[in-house]
Amino acid sequence: MRILTCPPLFTHQYSHAWVDFRGVQDDHADYFRNSTYATLANRSYARTVRYPDRDLWGITAADGPITQGCTPANPACVCSGTTYLTDQGYPPDTGANNGTVAPTAAGGSIVFTPEQSLSTLRHMFDAYGPRLWGVYGLKDALNLRCEPDWFANDYVGIDVGAMLVMIENYRSRLVWRVFMRNREIRDAMDRVGFGSPPACVRYHEAEDYHVVSGGGIAVEHHPTAWGARTLQIGSQPGNSATYRVVVPCPGPARMYFKVRYADDVPGNHLEVYLDGSLKGSFRTDKFGAVCSGWDHYDWDAEIVDLGLVAPGTHTLTLRVAVDGGGTWGVNLDAFKLYALRRPFYLPLVLRR
């Protein structure tokens, strides 16, 4: 499971309160699915590390107690006063999590995890009653690792508001429907590259690339938007990597190809083959050369027309045709297939 991470769970929610990201994605992620995964990871951490005996989860920035000794191994915390916990969240673990749970975290994720969110919200209401519930609904947070149990006395408008908006989207999609009527929003999303993946394309990730030829080819560890591994193809002519793509469309579909990579010099010339037939090529543009650790990747401007692709299993090969003179060659990160000029994303790298 891959997640674009930011620990406080609200960061995976607030844009979704207004923008309907269901079924669309850009050059980096399917954000609705990403927020679903982040919520499930947050829930798993809370249920496993903090509250294994209760249906209690939702770690995000919120009001909370000032604590001492609140480690996962410590069954109870020394708590006093109230502060604002800006660094709470998961994933990844910030080291600041002290057992404080905020109802807005689960409530704000109800569109992503309706069953799990409703379950814990019901548990909060039934189990803690007037200590957590008041005139404006659920108070901001609770911490049962404290002795005695700690409950917030106030409501935070942005937290209550996020829950209300997301609950209405879950109930009726009202806010999404009204907001997405705005032409400016639709135009903006189109211009920055949001599109729907073609339903008739699926893929195997790069564990299934089955032919690698030539010298200077290695799987390397580098930070990228997709993960921590890239496939490095040495720049010697003839080096190549072949991937398997499964296209279960009911009929032939016109497809296009684009790649995301980093390299240390411009001018490496890569050819693109579909089932052994040359379909086009592109020259690299020196992404990453000025960045430490090859940590800058970008999409090549050139799009290769693959023509009509019939249903079935196909091979897609990238082959070095001309050495641009660099030291390390090309680090491949991900590629995209376009059907009807709509992008679909296929990671080129090992996912462990």
Band (100; pLDDT cuts 50, 70, 90):
very high
Instruction: Please indicate, yes or no, whether the overall pTM of this predicted structure exceeds 0.85.
Output: no
pLDDT at 242: 78
Please check whether residues 83 and 157 belong to one and the same domain.
Answer: yes
For residue 91, give Cα distances in angstroms to 41, 76, 95, 120, 146.
7, 23, 11, 19, 23
127 against 261, higher pLDDT: 127
> Range with the lowest mean pLDDT among 134-143, 194-203, 227-236, 314-323?
194-203
Does one domain contain both 84 and 64?
yes
Cα distances from 226 to residues 22, 208, 223, in angstroms, run 20, 17, 8
Do 162 and 250 belong together in one domain?
Answer: no
170 and 268 share one domain:
no
176 in a domain, yes or no?
yes
Q: Determine the pLDDT at residue 25.
A: 80
Q: What is the pLDDT of residue 69?
A: 72
Residue 89 and residue 212 in one domain:
no
**Does residue 47 belong to any structural domain of this protein?**
yes
Structural domain includes residue 352:
no
Give me the mean pLDDT over the 71-80 stretch: 75
Q: Quick check: 167 pLDDT over 90?
A: yes
Residue-wise pLDDT for 12-39, tens only, equals: 999 999 999 998 887 667 899 889 989 9
Residues 285-310, mean pLDDT to the nearest whole number: 68
How much is the pLDDT for 333? Answer: 67
Q: What percentage of the chain reaches a pLDDT higher than 70?
A: 76
Please check whether residue 140 is in contact with residue 104, taking contact to mean a CB–CB distance below 8 angstroms. yes
Per the listing, tokens 């990671």 go with 347
What pLDDT, on the 0 to 100 scale, is given for residue 328?
A: 67
Both 41 and 180 in one domain: the answer is yes
Mean pLDDT of 155-169: 96
Same domain, 130 and 187: yes
Is residue 1 assigned to a domain? Answer: no
Q: Are residues 41 and 131 in the same domain?
A: yes
Average pLDDT, the chain: 80
Range from 50-64, 252-266, 296-310 that averages highest in pLDDT: 50-64
Residues 16 and 155 in one domain: yes
Q: Looking at 136, 170, 191, which one is the last position of a domain?
A: 191
Band (327; pLDDT cuts 50, 70, 90): low
Segment 102-111 mean pLDDT: 97
Q: Is the residue at 56 inside a domain?
A: yes
3 domain residue, yes or no: no
The mean pLDDT value for 343-348 works out to 44
139-158 pLDDT per residue, tens: 999 999 988 899 999 999 99
Q: What pLDDT is recorded for position 347?
A: 42
| Residues 177 and 260 both lie in one domain | no
CATH of the domain at 59: 1.50.10.140
Average pLDDT over residues 99-125: 96
CATH number at residue 323: 2.60.120.260
Domain final residue pick, 170, 191, 212: 191
Among the residue ranges 1-15, 145-159, 214-228, the one predicted with the least confidence is 214-228
Name the domain boundary from 125, 156, 191. Answer: 191
Q: Is the pLDDT of residue 295 over 60?
A: no
Domain total for the chain? 2
Q: Which residues pair with 137 in a beta bridge?
A: 134
> Does 132 lie in the same domain as 252?
no
* Mean pLDDT score, 65-85: 81
Question: Is residue 197 included in any domain, yes or no?
Answer: no
- Number of Cβ atoms within 10 Å of the Cβ of 52: 9
- Whether 43 and 124 map to the same domain: the answer is yes
- Could you list the residue range(s) of the whole structural domain that residue 323 is in? 202-347
2 falls within a domain? no
Segment 252-266 shows an average pLDDT of 77
Phi (first) and psi of residue 344, to 5 degrees: -135, 135
